[in-house]
Amino acid sequence: MFKITLLPGDGIGTEVVNSAVKVLKLIGERFNTEFEFNTQLIGGSSYDVNGTPLTDEVLGECYNSDVVFLGAVGGPKWEDLPHNLKPEAALLKLRKALGLYANLRPAKVYTPMLSYSSLKDEVLKGTDVMIVRELTGGIYFGQPRGYDEEKGFNTMIYSKEEVERIARTAFELARLRNKKVTSVDKANVLEVSQFWRKVVIEVHKNYPDIQLNHMYVDNAAMQIVRDPKQFDVLVTSNLFGDILSDIAAMITGSLGMLPSASLGSKYALYEPVHGSAPDIAGKNMANPIAAISSVSMMLKYSFQMDKAAEVLETAIESVLEKGYRTKDISKDEDNLVSTDEMTNKIIEEFEKIFAKEALNVFTL
Ligand code: IPM
Ligand code: MN
């Protein structure tokens, strides 16, 4: 049995988490695995009830589960709160408290979506990039930090151990993919980046089968839209990874398609990369694919259910192939569907593929 803490959060978070749970329940049945769900508050919806975006009780529930599944946090309602009470603060606290130092954000092209990106088909075709973003260090957490009337300041700092472990994650992932790692930094200007580069080179000595190159972050931003196919695994610091992963979202055509996994040595959290989208919240319009695809990452990285993950990915691709689209990814000629309809289509497709595969095994 796997214990999953659900943190739907704010805005469309609730809707896409519902979709993810529907899919998980089906997978549990088909693959004879029991998932136990425990829903808790986070973000603005926690602030409204508890006066804080993340309570110690909820954190305790997360420590007590196998994985955490999060929807989204934030919204205009809570924008003017002090820094430490904002919904976003809950997410940062959770990442830090659970030690989720490795953030995996894959950006690959679904063939039926090729013409939906702002980038040209021929630039995109065959792109499959895994962004590995350091998530618990760097300028997001460095001390000192603050501002007064005269100045504002943050500190970008990385310890040897922090760089070593994220570099190892990147090399290990590359080993299961196309064996290429690009480390992104700003070593022409920042000492912290010179240090980062030095440590990555050191760690690389243990991975002679992996090709390593280095790129400055400004150039990397350009290269992602110029020729994304050149990348396999891209490893970078917290802030650079935040920015580059949004750019990379355009590879898939919409932020509504991008899943993520945040992994530490003990805990794991899965969440769609998109935000809470308050403008469409509660309207059954949100794209559930990023959340459902995050389920697929969870099956693969936390539960070693690779087959289930693969069937789910194929189901998503097949639904897109058939032309079903939520609003964020629709063009005139498409078959426009709601969040629930898209979820049900993916479930239907999953059932079909599953039945076919079962039959294959049976007849072999
Ligand atoms: C992300 C988000 C967060 C970040 C915010 C909401 C704190 O942009 O997950 O990419 O900056 O890490
Ligand atoms: Mn971001």
| 142 phi and psi angles, rounded to 5 deg | -60, 145
C-beta neighbour count of 280 within 10 angstroms: 18
Domain end among 192, 222, 251: 251
Domain end among 251, 273, 304: 251
Nearest residue (by CA) to ligand 1, atom 7, is 88
Nearest residue (by CA) to ligand 1, atom 8, is 242
Predicted pLDDT at 357: 84
Predicted pLDDT at 14: 97
**Per-residue pLDDT tens for 60-90?**
999 999 999 999 999 999 999 999 999 999 9
109 in a domain, yes or no? no
- Tell me what the mean pLDDT of segment 167-185 comes to: 98
pLDDT band at 361; cut points 50, 70, 90 = low
Nearest residue (by CA) to ligand 1, atom 9, is 273
113 in a domain, yes or no? no
CB pairs under 8 A, 24+ apart, for 189-198?
Answer: 190/156, 192/138, 192/156, 192/157, 192/158, 192/237, 193/237, 195/158, 195/163, 196/158, 196/163, 196/237
Predicted pLDDT at 116: 84
Residues 38 and 132 in one domain: no
Asked if residue 286 lies in contact with residue 12, where contact means CB atoms within 8 angstroms, the answer is yes
- Tell me what the mean pLDDT of segment 310-332 comes to: 93
Contacts of 360 by beta carbon, 8 Å cutoff, 6+ apart = none
Find the CATH number of the domain harbouring 152.
Answer: 3.40.718.10
Output the pTM of the full model: 0.95
- Residue 226 sits at the vertex; the CA angle it makes with 230 and 288, to the nearest 5 degrees, is 85
Domain that holds residue 182: 118-251
Residues 196 and 305 in one domain: no
Residues 11 and 136 in one domain: no
Residues 220 and 307 in one domain: no
Give the mutation target among 70, 85, 92, 255 for probing the ligand 1 site: most ligand atoms within 8 A of CB: 92
> Which residue type occupies 254?
S
Q: How far apart are the first and last CA of the chain?
A: 30
The H or E element spanning position 298 is: helix 289-301
Rounded CA gap, 166 and 164, in Å?
6
Ligand 1 neighbours (beta carbon < 6 A):
88, 91-92, 242
pLDDT band at 363; cut points 50, 70, 90 = low
**Per-residue pLDDT tens for 205-241?**
999 999 999 999 999 999 999 999 999 999 999 999 9
Residue 103 CA: which ligand 1 atom is closest? 9
Question: What's the 342 CA to ligand 2 centre distance in angstroms?
Answer: 25
- Tell me what the mean pLDDT of segment 34-44 comes to: 97
Is the per-residue pLDDT at 164 higher than 60?
yes
111 in a domain, yes or no? no
Asked if residue 6 lies in contact with residue 21, where contact means CB atoms within 8 angstroms, the answer is yes
Is the per-residue pLDDT at 271 higher than 60?
yes
Domain end among 225, 251, 277: 251
Please report which ligand is nearest the Cα atom of 92: 1
